[in-house]
Chains A and B, each alone.
Chain A
């Protein structure tokens, strides 16, 4: 399988203060493989190194050590060629304040060497795609945050990149605008087969969009896998809350496959299982067979937020998990 990103042992340390005495290790040996055509998410708390990693992958920042191949090219020696094939959109986008929407796109079209007709057609199609038509004559400083973000995404597609890097693409946006942008990101991957790497703080966004996710903490990848596998990895489990009348047979729960833990009190039985979707039906059937009168069933599944909190708390004894 062709790798869009293949990074080995990436290290980056920032130095500051008098005589560069203060040092901060932003990345400490990152290994990353992103397959062509997948949406890959990077999650992590503030200061984890997400933006540093994205900057290195976009060639805006050079690593201190390590090897990076982007779309098969060496990112240190062939940065210029890589820049022709990638693009970046970031949350809180900034462009020249007095350029109008259409001019911003034309400017970046020229930066990517698109000639007159080709550029005009591309600008028009991006204006259509991101519904910027009404705002084409509005200068950047007069756009709303949502519009600025749409413009940033439109700009990032100007060179029809094979690899698109998105740094917090929906930060600070209204929920309806965020949904619209997420749908557009998904549509880009599906229709163009584009490889997309994004950083986000929004767990639902990561779960909705990403084929695979890496958790970054203190410059290291703590865990990597699909959203589903990450949930399983931390073994928090899903919670099934059952309101009942009568009695719950504890022996049944103890024998039941997939039950991690349970508590029973005053008509409420809380059962922690490995996978609620898989277990809930047969568990209820068992309780009914045992003579329990079920009044209400409520399932609380583990979400990526729980995983995030768990990994953020992890001590560094054995930091890396991969699935």
Chain B
């Protein structure tokens, strides 16, 4: 019991760190309020200008809301290491008796909290400004969609951490570019069927494609929603199962190469 409690406290440490920096940093506040709102209004107003019907407007708004949520949540997971990288304090974190899952899950908790705020905010504004009801699929499916997006964020965030430990400062750009690439491939504003077949193949191995299609199916775009959700969660499980040992290996690799010392200088 004592050991379990201790491990929870260690997870709390990373949540505490992200929380304190979030509340004190204007930039992180803009991550929650400014950029998601800019994105939502840009896409929403474009759909009004193009005269899209309610169904098509919903299609693109689901994309931008989902992407905003992922962007905020994954960056928090990546911040678990990025803050240490920027403050050159990585060695102090890794000299402590922590496990990789504690580092990640503490930061993920704050990421989920921040991105949930984004989701609620964007759903309210999309209802008021564009008459789009994000909760049309019902609480259960909305919840599953959110959970899926949280796990996709976790997956991307761990990926960024792996890259940071392997390539240091050169990899920090991954924190912003991976989601943008994913948006391009997974059909954020269009169905993946319009993409070249090779890119479609790539889209089919990314869970976000299935979560977007599943949620859009409630708005009249067809698709077997349960099966799509199943594939999405299945892929997430597969990638996390691959990432967990990879992250552990990368930390070991960093200890062999002296990465923690180099990134603390």
Contact = CB atoms under 8 A, between A and B. Distances in A.
Interface string B248-264: 00001001101011001
B261 A61 contact: yes
Contact of A60 (B5, B17, B94): B94
A87 B260 CA distance: 15
Contacts of B84: 96
Interface string B1-28: 0000111011011001100110011000
B201 interface: no
Dominant SS at the A interface? Answer: mixed
Contacts of B87: 94-97
Interface stretch (B35-43, B68-76, B95-103, B144-152): B95-103
Contacts of B94: 60
23 contacts: A52-B258, A55-B260, A58-B95, A59-B95, A60-B91, A60-B94, A60-B260, A81-B97, A88-B91, A88-B95, A90-B91, A95-B87, A97-B87, A98-B20, A98-B21, A99-B21, A103-B20, A110-B9, A110-B13, A111-B10, A113-B6, A113-B10, A115-B5
Given A62-B252, A97-B87, A98-B21, 7 more contacts: A55-B91, A80-B99, A94-B92, A96-B87, A111-B98, A112-B10, A115-B5
Contact of A110 (B16, B83, B264): B16
Contacts of A106: 16
B123 interface: no
Given A111-B10, A113-B9, A88 B92 contact: yes
Contacts of A80: 97, 99
Contacts of B256: 61-62
B89 interface: yes
Contact of B13 (A62, A81, A111): A111
B255 A110 contact: no
A115 B92 CA distance: 20
Interface string A140-170: 0000000000000001000000000000000
A86 interface: yes
Interface in B80-94: 83-84, 87-89, 91-94
Given A51-B261, A84-B97, A113-B9, A107 B16 contact: yes
B89 A94 contact: yes
A108 interface: yes
B248 to A, nearest CB: 12
A87 B6 CA distance: 18
Interface in A79-130: 79-81, 83-84, 86-88, 90, 94-99, 103, 106-108, 110-115
Contacts of A112: 10, 96-97
B5 A55 contact: no
Q: 9 closest A-B pairs (Cβ-Cβ)?
A: A110-B13, A113-B6, A111-B96, A83-B97, A94-B88, A84-B97, A111-B13, A94-B89, A96-B87
Interface string B138-181: 00000000000000000000000000000000000000000000
Interface residues of B, number: 34
A115 B25 CA distance: 27
A83 B96 contact: yes
B93 A111 contact: yes
Nearest to A140: B87
A103 B95 CA distance: 18
Contacts of A107: 13, 16-17
B20 A99 contact: yes
A110 B12 contact: yes
Contacts of B88: 94
Interface string A40-61: 0000000000011001001111
Interface string B226-265: 0000000000000000000000000010011010110010
Nearest to A52: B258
B258 A96 contact: no
The listed residue with most A CB atoms (<10 A of its CB), out of B9, B12, B95, B99, is B95
A62 B254 CA distance: 9
A14 interface: yes
Contacts of A62: 252, 255-256
Contacts of A99: 17, 20-21
A230 B16 CA distance: 49
B258 A14 contact: yes
The listed residue with most A CB atoms (<10 A of its CB), out of B25, B94, B260, B261, is B261
Nearest to B15: A110
A60 B13 contact: no
B10 A110 contact: yes
Given A61-B255, A62-B255, A80-B97, A98 B9 contact: no
Contacts of B16: 103, 106-107, 110
Contacts of A58: 95
B7 A55 contact: no
A73 B16 CA distance: 31
Nearest to A111: B96
Contacts of B91: 55, 60, 88, 90
Nearest to A88: B95
Contact of B21 (A59, A60, A96, A113): A96
